[in-house]
Amino acid sequence: MAIVSTQSHHQVRNMVVGRYLTDATAAAITITTGFKPRYVKVVNNTSRDWYQWFEGMAAGSAHKTVAAGTGTSITTLGITVAEDGFTIGLDTDINVINEQLSFVAEG
């Protein structure tokens, strides 16, 4: 049996923490951080559902956990990272009108 391990060693040079509340029509939410995140976590404070994305994951994916504790990996409507921030997809457990989101991104 072979064990394959991949990791990168970087000092955390950039970090952003914030909150977002929308009362508009549901849409993907773009957060500009000024750097390319290597880790992103988004929490819906209202429903207590959350998801996170790690460097190396595909665009639109995330590891998602709902308030009941059930976890899954999603491949669409998750988090997409860009050179200067990230986009929160239209996952209906996370991105909900009139519910507050908190996020942290490290790069």
| pTM tops 0.75, yes or no | yes
β-bridge pairing 71-82 and 85-88: antiparallel
- Chain segment 48-85, per-residue pLDDT in tens: 999 999 999 999 999 999 999 999 999 999 999 999 99
- Chain segment 14-24, per-residue pLDDT in tens: 999 999 887 77
- In the sheet that holds 15-20, the strands lie side by side as 15-20, 101-106, 39-44, 50-54, 61-65, 71-82, 85-88, 29-32
